Structure 1
Amino acid sequence: MDAALMARVLALRFVWRARDRWSAERIDAHRERAVAAARRHAVERSPFYRRLHAGLEDAPLAALPPVTKGQLMEHWDDAVTRRGLRLADVEAHLADLVEHDGDPGRPWRASPPLRGPWWAAATAGTTGRRGVFVWDRTEWAAVLASYARATDWAGVPVRPGQPIRVAVVSSRRPTHQSAAVGASLPTALIPTIRLDATAPLPETVSALNGFAPTLLVGYASVLRPLAREQLAGRLHISPRAIMSASEVLSPQTSQDAEAAWGVPPADVYAATETAGIGSTCSAGRRHLYEDLVIAEPVDADYRRVPPGTPGDRLLVTVPFARTLPLIRYEMSDRIAVDGRGCPCGRAFALLAAVEGRIEDVLALAVGETTVAIHPNVFHDALDGVPLNGWQVVQRGDGIDVLLEGLSPQTATDAVRARVESALAAAGAAGVGVRLVPVAALERTALGKVPLVRGLPRA
């Protein structure tokens, strides 16, 4: 990390720590000012937003039209606020990183008249069209500081003279934001090892044993098998904190991790588009980063849902995103936002639920009707089964249940019965269920495990 970038990150963390003591009223006032400034900037400098928000300059945020990923990518060159910045150039930079296995933390230095360093990352495109996002130095410092807030709240603050050793088991694909964030960390203050979630488990165990991390960060689908390796005595690390990111953290995975390492994992909710959205506090409850991201859970008609109710989709506004503004940007996440009030003393709103992606809801044919099956149906049936991980894949004639690391003592007929019973209770009796023991679950290009995969969309 260059000195100027690190100075910005440290300054932001100092300012943001004071916000932990803000009242709800002060948080709301800050949000209003920040959103108003971001909207003015977007209308003044982005032709796309100028057209989209024409006549709505004084309208409340909830009255503005949502922006889909498809819209943003189609109009990317007009959406950015820096003239001369082109999607084709950023795509070429990302392609070069992949082709040459480049350093994802290395900023892209644009030619004049842009000048200065730029950081870029892309989504995997598993839920539709791939998204490409770009940040200047000021914005990238905010991205890094948002993840640093998660470590602070998890009780592992990073301070000069107190280095922590971080092991990140996620994606090493250089176009992924987690890879870029990990590569941007200062090695003197935060010695970091980045491991690929798709690597063989024994290889990951060996690397972690050799590194001895203070902080272990990984996908939820990685933490559970690692916890089982720790309990079996093959992995022997003693991290002070565990952080789960990028995938839904199930209660069973959380219990397994706490049994293995003596501490419950902190749940970090983040996205490539937004960086950190929320995380677990010292009281074990998840808070939204309301000062950094405005999150609006909405129904299928884009109406705000009541507190505590999961929305059908999520609209996010990111005030610090100035190069590529995100104002009511649509994500497929299903979350529920509750009220405020927590023993930790923070007034940030509580994140009651993160139910994954809308694509995870299966549409199963039962007779002449179609029944929607929420992924929680499978969590209830499978999370208690002793194994490394599971995955449900819909086929034309039913579903396959992939089981990794199933104990030889576990009867497969009993597992199938649990799934069939859960489906029947959800209104999908008679759907074909096939159990498939596998050496490894199917992962995306970024190393994630989509727990419930429906049929490809038309």
Structure 2
Amino acid sequence: MQTMLPTPTPGGIYSELVRRQRAELQDAYMKGVRRLRWDAARLAAERERRLRELLVHAAEHSPFWRERLAGHDLANFTEADLPSLPILTKTEMMTEFDRILTVPGLTRARISEHISSLDGDRYIDDEYRAIVSSGYAGTEAYHVYGWDSFITFVMQGSRWTGRRGEDPAAVLAQCFSCSARHESGAFYAFSSFEGGGPTSHCFDATLPLGAMVDRLNNIRPGVEALQGWPSLIWELAQEARLGRLTIKPTWVSVAGELCTEPVREAVRSAWGIEASEFWGCSEGTYAFPCGVGEGMHVADDLVILEPADADGNVVPYGQPAARMLLTNLFNPVQPLIRYDLTDAVTMTDEPCPCGCAHRRILSVNGRIDGVFKYDGGAVVPRADLEQTVVATPGVVNFFIDQNHGGVDVSVVTDGSTDLQQLRTELSDVLGRHGGPSTDVDVRAVDSIKRLSRGKTRQFDTEAV
């Protein structure tokens, strides 16, 4: 069978589409802001309504979900019934990609061809957008959004700004990925199209540090808000402390990697402010701090997040979870139901002092994503190794590679890390799981290799 390639969108038509979609975003934004004021009961009713609509649509239009949802009373399905459904993993989602999507003609082959050929922001068939996520382990996944669902996704990233009282006209510099293949680049291209919003600059996180510093210094008017991966913000803060980076941001936010205490301290030292951490994923959602209560508010009107243990069992709010399961309630094109995000988090449903009833992620503690397997049958969870490294004082960033006799660990530090103590603790972790510990090497490095989107890679991607 001949593969259908994406239908190219001529420049003129593309401009018309973006203008129309941006205009529709304004209405979605106002509705989304109002939902930040809904009480918990109204939010729960909204989730239940959206969940039933999603399940019915998925069962009718997706062969994969038709089989998986068979035998369930979808018209009366509730949020409490979700644990009766299996978890959807990234591997399964990519393997079953064509059968999961609900739009005839949209296939993994077409999406892959579209993403690989992107040289800027473009639609598929004048309606759909596709992005690729790599994650911190470097394994790719595709995510497809229809017209309305893309608007909703973008809206999530903007509606909290006004609630926190930040200046919507502040000059912003984003240091993530500028490629429309990735979420941050696609959002930047869409939001900055022909102006119409605050002055915004995008700097690819893979740029040499010196080049990024020069470009940030030369922005006029000067940068007032700075966003980026935590590991990159740490490097920029060091440049500011040394006098090479001269911008004076009044707001710094980080996302996409674990934000360690040395990163927060570097921001305080360089600019005299606290770093603001937000959380997001290419699968369709964000969580933002309110500036009053602890943690980050999730989009309780648009997604369901289930904190779960390593085996997939839902854990009570307030207890640390090993993983988080996402049900995206607003994207019927690619239904993600109990999708495993592998983020280790702690969530709460306790009232927030700010008055917003949206539940909160109190902390992102790491990822549970794969294991190291050794000769003799020993299986060592990568999460145990990660948590040991992250808990070590002075560690900013890290990379863990498996070797025959243990692990090779590279760490970026603030200079205070006891490398010998970390080596001993990692050996203990390996030993507890029956793994070898004859060759555990820990060394300090200046930086960790970045993936194509600029995020650093924390693990050897060849591991299971």
Match of 1:113 in 2: none
Letter in 2 for 1:50: R
Does 2:258 correspond to 1:248?
Answer: yes
Other structure's SS at 1:117 match: coil
* CA distance in structure 1 between the aligned counterparts of 2:355 and 2:259, rounded to whole angstroms: 24
Cα distance, 1:441 vs structure 2: 1.5
Specify whether residues 435 and 304 from structure 1 end up closer, same or farther in structure 2 by C-alpha distance, changes over 3 A only: closer
Match of 2:42 in 1: 26
Letter in 1 for 2:36: D
- Given candidates 166, 178, 183, the residue that maps to 1:172 is 178
- Given candidates 134, 141, 149, the residue that maps to 2:151 is 141
Cα distance, 1:148 vs structure 2: 1.0
Letter in 2 for 1:332: T
Which is further off, 368-377 or 442-451?
A: 368-377
Letter in 2 for 1:229: E
- Given candidates 337, 349, 352, the residue that maps to 1:342 is 352
Q: Indicate the percent of aligned positions where both proteins have the same amino acid.
A: 28
Match of 2:421 in 1: 418
Kindly report the root-mean-square deviation, in angstroms, between the aligned alpha carbons of the 2 structures. 2.9
Match of 1:206 in 2: 214
Letter in 2 for 1:378: V
Report runs of 4+ in structure 1 exceeding 4 Å deviation.
125-129, 360-365, 367-372, 403-407, 424-433
Match of 1:450 in 2: 457
* CA distance in structure 2 between the aligned counterparts of 1:83 and 1:370, rounded to whole angstroms: 42
Does 2:305 correspond to 1:279?
Answer: no
Which is further off, 200-209 or 249-258?
A: 249-258
Taking the TM superposition and a 5 Å limit, the aligned residue runs for 1:341-420 are 341-359=351-369, 373-382=384-393, 384=394, 389-404=397-412, 415-420=418-423
Q: Tell whether the 8 Å contact from 1:170 to 1:178 is kept in structure 2 after alignment.
A: yes
* CA distance in structure 2 between the aligned counterparts of 1:126 and 1:282, rounded to whole angstroms: 27
* CA distance in structure 1 between the aligned counterparts of 2:99 and 2:399, rounded to whole angstroms: 40
- Given candidates 273, 278, 283, the residue that maps to 1:263 is 273
Other structure's SS at 1:326 match: coil
Taking the TM superposition and a 5 Å limit, the aligned residue runs for 1:94-243 are 94-97=115-118, 102-103=119-120, 105-108=121-124, 110=125, 116-124=126-134, 127=137, 130-156=140-166, 158=168, 163-186=169-192, 187-211=195-219, 212-243=222-253
Cα distance, 1:53 vs structure 2: 0.6
Other structure's SS at 1:359 match: coil
Cα distance, 1:179 vs structure 2: 1.1
Letter in 1 for 2:215: A
Cα distance, 1:433 vs structure 2: 4.2
Which is further off, 139-148 or 261-270?
A: 261-270
Cα distance, 1:380 vs structure 2: 2.7
Letter in 2 for 1:175: R
Other structure's SS at 1:216 match: strand
Q: Tell whether the 8 Å contact from 2:233 to 2:254 is kept in structure 1 after alignment.
A: yes
TM-score (norm 1): 0.85
Letter in 2 for 1:457: A
Deviations 1:31-72 (A, max 9, x none): 111211211222222222122111112442222222222332
Other structure's SS at 2:50 match: helix
Letter in 1 for 2:65: Y
Cα distance, 1:140 vs structure 2: 1.0
Letter in 1 for 2:117: D
Match of 1:46 in 2: 62
Specify whether residues 239 and 107 from structure 1 end up closer, same or farther in structure 2 by C-alpha distance, changes over 3 A only: farther
Specify whether residues 442 and 183 from structure 1 end up closer, same or farther in structure 2 by C-alpha distance, changes over 3 A only: same
Cα distance, 1:449 vs structure 2: 1.4
Letter in 2 for 1:169: C
Specify whether residues 440 and 427 from structure 1 end up closer, same or farther in structure 2 by C-alpha distance, changes over 3 A only: closer
* CA distance in structure 2 between the aligned counterparts of 1:455 and 1:149, rounded to whole angstroms: 36
* CA distance in structure 2 between the aligned counterparts of 1:421 and 1:279, rounded to whole angstroms: 37
Other structure's SS at 2:203 match: strand
Other structure's SS at 1:142 match: helix
Taking the TM superposition and a 5 Å limit, the aligned residue runs for 1:307-326 are 307-326=317-336
Cα distance, 1:133 vs structure 2: 1.4
Letter in 2 for 1:313: R
Cα distance, 1:389 vs structure 2: 4.5
Cα distance, 1:403 vs structure 2: 4.3
Other structure's SS at 2:338 match: strand
Match of 2:8 in 1: none
Match of 2:98 in 1: 77
- Given candidates 432, 447, 453, the residue that maps to 1:440 is 447
Cα distance, 1:316 vs structure 2: 0.7
Specify whether residues 302 and 371 from structure 1 end up closer, same or farther in structure 2 by C-alpha distance, changes over 3 A only: closer
Letter in 2 for 1:289: A
* CA distance in structure 1 between the aligned counterparts of 2:388 and 2:334, rounded to whole angstroms: 38
Specify whether residues 361 and 254 from structure 1 end up closer, same or farther in structure 2 by C-alpha distance, changes over 3 A only: farther
* CA distance in structure 1 between the aligned counterparts of 2:403 and 2:160, rounded to whole angstroms: 38
* CA distance in structure 2 between the aligned counterparts of 1:68 and 1:331, rounded to whole angstroms: 8
Cα distance, 1:454 vs structure 2: 5.4
TM-score (norm 2): 0.84
Q: Tell whether the 8 Å contact from 1:298 to 1:311 is kept in structure 2 after alignment.
A: yes
Q: Tell whether the 8 Å contact from 1:288 to 1:350 is kept in structure 2 after alignment.
A: yes
Other structure's SS at 2:201 match: strand
Letter in 2 for 1:96: S
